[in-house]
Structure 1
């Protein structure tokens, strides 16, 4: 093949050789034909080879002529052949299009056949299922009626049967969960189960006894909806909801009745709920403790709820206590303390939380009353005039006196305060404050009450000092003298009287019984003693040197000046009598003729009685009193805040009967003498402050060391009392 190509390259030039292949294609010749022809040429001789060109030309001309002749002779055939060829081509195109359409139709037919096959299969399956359902109609009807039956049981309260149906449907769903009918039935039954759950919880929101609660909680456990901790929470939440609804039904118009009803319902219902909880959810069973989650403290749920309920009760109590009247406060306190004590049976004694609430209410009321008294004193001082006192002169005899012992002995107030009307009003206000305080006086308020009283009295002293600073320029000699007497009255009788009320309100015996300290230790600490220097500091520059303790002051602190009322009398009197009748005080201060004549007559009678009695001896020294070594020889009643026995305070008009004690004669009997107001005013001038203060402290210590007893009515009793003081 390579030799033939080389030969052709020798025969033809370079460009002709490249075009040789294209020419072969035009002549419909192949390389083999050319090679054969070349071999033939190679076999020819030189002569024949020279004539080969002519032969080829002649042969070409002959072929062309034959072809033309053939075309001329057979042209109809050529035309017919061309037409047939055209028709065949067109028919082939139509066949091609029909074939394509047939192919597309066969695809659609295949899809339809597949769809028909599937439909036929489903129809066959449905027919088979329908036949099977017809044969199992009874069983299927029972399954289909399960949701309706479940709903009927739940709505009629047949919870046991409802739980059995729910359990049966749950087993069916686990076994035949691939069947849509079973799944739908299970869903409807679950809806009824939720309704049953809400009904069971609603049962716990109604009044229920322990057996019913046990049954309901048992159903909740069988339902398996909640864990054990969640069941405990749901139980407490439901019972708490019912408890709150009962509290909301209590009328709130009367705070006292609201508190009592709240205490009663809380004590009964909370104890019932706690008992039910502890009976249902036991935390002491070893089996329960073994199955308990170590990461969960189930017992904390119960105690957290108890703490929350106690907190709610204390908040309600704190809201209503300020609205309760002082006379009802003690009753409320007793009910609340009993409530706290009853809770101790379930380990939740909260009595210690009640004391601060009541103490705060009592103290707030005392502060309000004390501040009101101070404001009234300031108003009275703003309109006070010493000219009215000067117009009365010395005809009036006012003195602190102790009446003879009677069946209804009372704590009497110094009637000399009537001469200084603002002091009388201040005394009235403070007595009213003590009236409210005595209804329920906690021991822990001793210091607060004393400090508050000291501050109020100091403010009153400042008011007096301001009054003197503003009016001193217009004072006459008589007015200056009367003002000095008023200051002495404020410093002596008024201060001693307030101190006496404090000693009665918070007696050392009572404090000793509550705290464990001895009365002597309490007296040494001066727990119930007013700080006189602090109170009188604003007017200290106006006071002369303090007078010695007078005989009326001695009578002020002797035990004979106090006496407990009988229980019947205490119940009949709801509050301490007002110390001053405002109408009497107004007539005394404003009228100059009629009241002056009345007081003059009383003064004359007082002078007549004085002439028949011996003069009161002066006392220069007094023996010291050893309070701690003193022993009590009598069984004395205790004055407690919860006692129903009250002390009455009132003013008595008339001459004062006081006890005269002779320290130099140990066996001498004290005399009861009547002294005039002038003699009283002369005696303090002869005694000094250094003598009076130790005696006052000794008498106060002796008084607070002994409880309230009946005053001596015979010379023997007076002598015995005198020996105790000595």
Structure 2
């Protein structure tokens, strides 16, 4: 059909026809219509077309004449449209030239807005997860609240959770910040737990605190023991420091009670907290090079040494009742035998030294008093005394009445008897030699003083004064010395001493154990005594036998 149409058009227009006719639909319809005409109609067709063209032309002219204004306006409008289309074409060309730059800017804007869009999505997600994020951000504050309320178990769980969370997300800065804050609170909890150990605690609370410290895994087992003992030692020192030091009796008594109670509690807490059994589970994880027992026993040895030093210091200041302090101290040492720390043997030298020192001080004071009295005493113009001489009484404990004539000797004896009475309440056998030597030295001093008195006054002696001096010498040698010997044997019975030493009483006397050396005492005035003076020193057995004989006579 197309080829036929083309042939037909070439026949109708042999010269040339417009190219747009190839796509004109009306032309196709007209050609189809021509194909249906007869010959006559085809012959008439040119005429008809001319007539129709003339009619169209006339109509067009008439239309133009009738609507010329419209055509003018249309022309003007067309001109304006042309002008505007031309301007539009220029602007479109300008826009086309700017499109690459605009496209580039759009790409840049798209890239920049993509980050903003990502942040917007993150903000939206953050808003939806606000409650969960708030819980995470408040973990340090919650940790501090647990510590302030002493909810240490919850604090340990929370700290473990935060560390686990950080290990899972180490690249998130906020988790690092939260972990730092929690670690600071962790150190605060550690300080608070150690501080609580330095206060008064019962055993359950103590076990709980040490359990928390173990869970924190800050210290090794040895370090934990040292920290525990250091904190409890601080508590003990605070208790001891709070004891008033003005009254030595109150101070030493209170120190013994406070040390005994608190130190025993600390030992009990330590034993319950740290199991030193070799078969315990903890024993398998210990370092074989570290002896855990050394830590505890070194500390307890230090505490006992400090107590013994305080005891010795207070006793040196002077106490009213050594025996009561001794009883408390021995009970203290006995109670610690339950934990393998019996230290009673360490206190024996302290108390024996104290008792001996007290006695020796009393003897020195007696000698000072005697020295003052003997300086004022004189035998010149001394008459026969109005006191019984050598009055034998049934009471063997009664001091000799002959001493009443010579008041320096009588006062000396009273002072010595007071010292012996104080010694009698608490008289350790181990110091018997020192006691005897101290009294023997004092008696030798008196003997020398008597000799000095004789030397000073012998030129002025009258017969009565000479007799009085002889009685003075005999009273000292035959009454005072034997009576002090008897007094010592009442406090330290020779039978008991001999039994302790495993020897006989005769051996004691031969070795001068608990016996005076009378020859040494009266050596300086021996030439002034009457001849054949052999003082008889009754032993304990003789005294007991005499008492038995006296009791039998009284019964008869």
Q: What does residue 257 of structure 1 align with?
A: 250
Q: Structure 1 172/517 Cα, relative in aligned 2: closer, same or farther at 3 Å?
A: farther
2:514 is aligned, of 499, 503, 528, to 528
CA contact 2:198–2:231 (8 Å) conserved in 1: yes
Question: Partners in 2 of 1:123 and 1:711 — Cα distance?
Answer: 125
Q: Does 1:397 align with 2:235?
A: no
CA contact (8 A) 1:374 1:426 kept: yes
RMSD: 3.0
Q: 1:700 pairs with 539, 542, 556, which one?
A: 539
State whether residues 400 and 493 of structure 1, in contact with CA within 8 Å, keep that contact through their aligned partners in structure 2: no
CA distance in 2, matches of 1:226, 1:119: 54
Cα pair distance change 1:497/1:307, threshold 3 Å: same
CA deviations on 1:422-481 (whole Å, 9 max, x unpaired) are 211221221122122112111111000111111111111122222222222222333223
State the alpha-carbon separation in 2 of the partners of residues 145 and 378 from structure 1: 87
| Mapped contact 1:377–1:423 kept (Cα < 8 A) | yes
Q: Is the 8 A contact 2:362 2:415 kept in 1?
A: yes
Task: Measure, in 1, the Cα distance between the counterparts of 2:387 and 2:274.
Answer: 80
Matched, 1:320 2:158: no
Q: Distance in 2 between matches of 1:522 and 1:548?
A: 20
Contact 2:197 2:206 in 1 (8 A): yes
Matched, 1:143 2:139: no
Query: 2:430 maps to which residue?
Result: 444
> Structure 1 length normalisation: TM-score?
0.57
Q: Quote the Cα distance in structure 2 between the aligned partners of 1:502 and 1:532.
A: 14
Q: 1:507 aligns with which of 480, 488, 493?
A: 493
Confirm or deny that 1:310 pairs with 2:307.
no
Question: For 2:495 and 2:540, how far apart are their aligned partners in 1?
Answer: 12
Distance change (3 Å), C-alpha of 1:121 and 1:421: farther
Using a 3 Å threshold, how does the CA distance of structure 1 residues 411 and 129 change in structure 2: closer, same or farther?
same
Q: Structure 2-normalised TM-score?
A: 0.74
Distance 1:711 1:422, change over 3 A: farther
Is 1:383 paired with 2:376?
A: yes
Deviations 1:306-339 (A, max 9, x none): 112212221222222245544x221221121111
Alignment match, 2:284: 290
Q: Residues 435, 400 of structure 1: CA spacing in aligned structure 2 closer, same or farther, 3 A cutoff?
A: farther
Confirm or deny: 8 A CA contact 1:200 1:216 kept in the other structure. Answer: yes
- What secondary structure is seen at the aligned counterpart in 2 of 1:208? coil
- In 2, the alpha carbon distance for the partners of 1:514 and 1:708 equals 25
Question: Using the alignment, how far apart are the partners of 2:299 and 2:418 within structure 1?
Answer: 42
Task: Assess if the C-alpha contact under 8 Å between 1:146 and 1:189 holds in 2.
Answer: yes
Alignment of 1:137-536 (within 5 A): 137-286=130-279, 287-323=281-317, 325-326=319-320, 328-387=321-380, 390-391=382-383, 393=384, 396-403=387-394, 411-512=397-498, 514-536=500-522
Secondary structure of the corresponding residue to residue 413 of structure 1: coil
Q: How much has 1:299 moved relative to structure 2?
A: 1.0
Deviation at 1:282, TM superposition (A): 0.7
Matches within 5 A, 1:75-114: none
Report the Cα offset of residue 716 of structure 1.
8.5
Describe the shift of the 1:247–1:139 C-alpha distance in structure 2 as closer, same or farther (beyond 3 A).
same
Larger helix fraction of residues = 2
Between Structure 1 and Structure 2, how many residues are aligned?
Answer: 447
Once the two structures are superposed, residues 211-246 of structure 1 have per-residue CA deviations (whole angstroms, 9 ceiling, x without a partner) of 221111111000111111111112122222222333
Deviation track 1:564-598 (CA, whole Å, cap 9, x = no partner) reads xxxxxxxxxxxxxxxxxxxxxxxxxxxxxxxxxxx
Structure 1: distance between partners of 2:452 and 2:187: 79
Given that 1:400 and 1:413 are in contact with CA atoms closer than 8 Å, whether structure 2 keeps it comes out as no
Residues 364 and 171 of structure 1, relative CA distance in 2, 3 Å threshold:
same
The match for 1:545 is: 531
Q: In structure 2, do the counterparts of structure 1 residues 524 and 293 end up closer, same or farther at CA, with 3 Å as the change threshold?
A: same
Cα 1:200–1:544 shift into 2, 3 Å:
same
Runs of 5+ consecutive residues of structure 2 not aligned to the other structure = 1-108
For 2:9, the equivalent position in structure 1 comes to none
CA distance in structure 2 between the aligned counterparts of 1:341 and 1:184, rounded to whole angstroms: 57
In structure 2, the CA distance between the partners of 1:709 and 1:341, relative to structure 1 (3 Å rule), is farther
Residues 151-209 of structure 1: per-residue CA shift (max 9 Å, x gap): 11110111111000111111223333332211111111011111211222232223322
Q: Which structure would you say has the larger Rg?
A: 2
- 1:710 deviates by 6.0
Q: Residue 72 of structure 1 corresponds to which residue in structure 2?
A: none
